[in-house]
Amino acid sequence: MPLILVVEDEPKIAEAIRKTLSLDPSFIGEFVALSALALPAALRLKPDLILLDIRLPDGDGRQVLQGLKRNAATSRIPVVFLTGLGSEGDKVLGLEWGADDYIVKPFGAMELLARLRAVLRRYRPEAASAGDIELGPLSLEPSERRALLGGKDLRLRPREFEILQLLASHPGKTLSRSFLIENSSAYGLPVPTRSLDTHIKNIRKKLGEKASSWIETIPKLGYRLSVPGRRMDG
Ligand code: CA
């Protein structure tokens, strides 16, 4: 159960991260909004990973990182920067300060989860397959962003993988269009709703003739993944 300490002052972003972490039941999130609270929270919670905003109202996330690295009790906790800065120079600077990765706002839910899993995997190799999904002949490996059918790589595009991953995480359940769009897109960016249908069309095509019908269109609601031989109350 990876515990993620999130240091983020913007309520909207914090809420987006909270929603994102709730998509994977194995993640637990704890939140603080000030740089001064980051080290005390890290010492108290001993998180598996810290998601750290660079621009905080009472200080700079890079200084928080320095403090974490200087303290023997927290120096080995991986840190992922949240940055709205965006430019190449700032990204490199973040990594030079000793962060393990960075994610640029606005980010997508699935992208964030994939980054967190990748960093956790480096630190805890046993967690590598923790998020894998097996549904009969269909298997998804979120850490590799790869979907396999009968062992064959479907070669999904990132957005296609994210949509299939959402459906496969809730087998037999109808997911609304808005849920699928919101969680497979970058928070805060305008979303072309029509593209959802295009992505579904492409996923079905890649699943092939037989398996394409596993993704059902539920009129006026959304989509549902039902893999034969699977319990449908999933
Ligand atoms: Ca901020």
CA of 86 to the centre of ligand 1 (A): 13
Residue 21 is predicted with a pLDDT of: 94
Please give the average per-residue pLDDT across 37-58, as a whole number: 95
**CA–CA gap between residue 61 and residue 34 (Å, rounded):** 10
**CA–CA gap between residue 101 and residue 209 (Å, rounded):** 40
Give residue 234's pLDDT band: very low, low, confident or very high (50, 70, 90): very low
The CATH number of the domain covering residues in 3-128: 3.40.50.2300
CA of 126 to the centre of ligand 1 (A): 33
CA of 34 to the centre of ligand 1 (A): 9
In tens, the pLDDT along 96-108 reads 778 888 888 888 8
Residue 52 is predicted with a pLDDT of: 95
Average confidence score pLDDT of the chain: 87
Residue 128 CB burial class (10 angstroms; 0-12, 13-18, ≥19):
middle
CA of 143 to the centre of ligand 1 (A): 27
> CATH 3.40.50.2300 region(s) of the chain?
3-128
Helices marked H in the chain — which ranges? 11-22, 35-45, 61-70, 88-96, 109-123, 158-169, 177-183, 194-211
CA of 40 to the centre of ligand 1 (A): 19
**CA-CA-CA-CA torsion sign (93, 94, 96, 102):** negative
CA of 203 to the centre of ligand 1 (A): 36
Please give the average per-residue pLDDT across 58-64, as a whole number: 92
Could you tell me which of 38, 52, 163, 165 has the C-alpha nearest to residue 103? 52
CA of 31 to the centre of ligand 1 (A): 13
**CA–CA gap between residue 152 and residue 57 (Å, rounded):** 49
> CATH 1.10.10.10 region(s) of the chain?
133-225
CA of 63 to the centre of ligand 1 (A): 14
Q: The tokens of 208 are what?
A: 């092939």
pTM of structure: 0.71
CA of 27 to the centre of ligand 1 (A): 22
CA of 178 to the centre of ligand 1 (A): 27
CA of 56 to the centre of ligand 1 (A): 5
**Percentage of residues in the chain with pLDDT exceeding 90?**
59
Residue 182 is predicted with a pLDDT of: 83
CA of 122 to the centre of ligand 1 (A): 27
CA of 201 to the centre of ligand 1 (A): 38
In the block, which residue shows the tokens 């459906």? 167
Residue 26 has pLDDT above 80, yes or no: yes
CA of 13 to the centre of ligand 1 (A): 9
The CATH number of the domain covering residues in 133-225: 1.10.10.10
In the block, which residue shows the tokens 């998804």? 140
127-131 CB contacts, 8 Å cutoff, 24+ apart = 127/2, 130/26, 131/24, 131/26
Residue 233 has pLDDT above 50, yes or no: no
Residue 139 has pLDDT above 80, yes or no: yes
Please give the average per-residue pLDDT across 143-151, as a whole number: 89
Q: Which one has a higher pLDDT value, 190 or 114?
A: 114
Residue 232 is predicted with a pLDDT of: 47
Residue 191 is predicted with a pLDDT of: 62
Please give the average per-residue pLDDT across 16-42, as a whole number: 94
CA of 185 to the centre of ligand 1 (A): 21
Give residue 92's pLDDT band: very low, low, confident or very high (50, 70, 90): low
CA of 39 to the centre of ligand 1 (A): 17
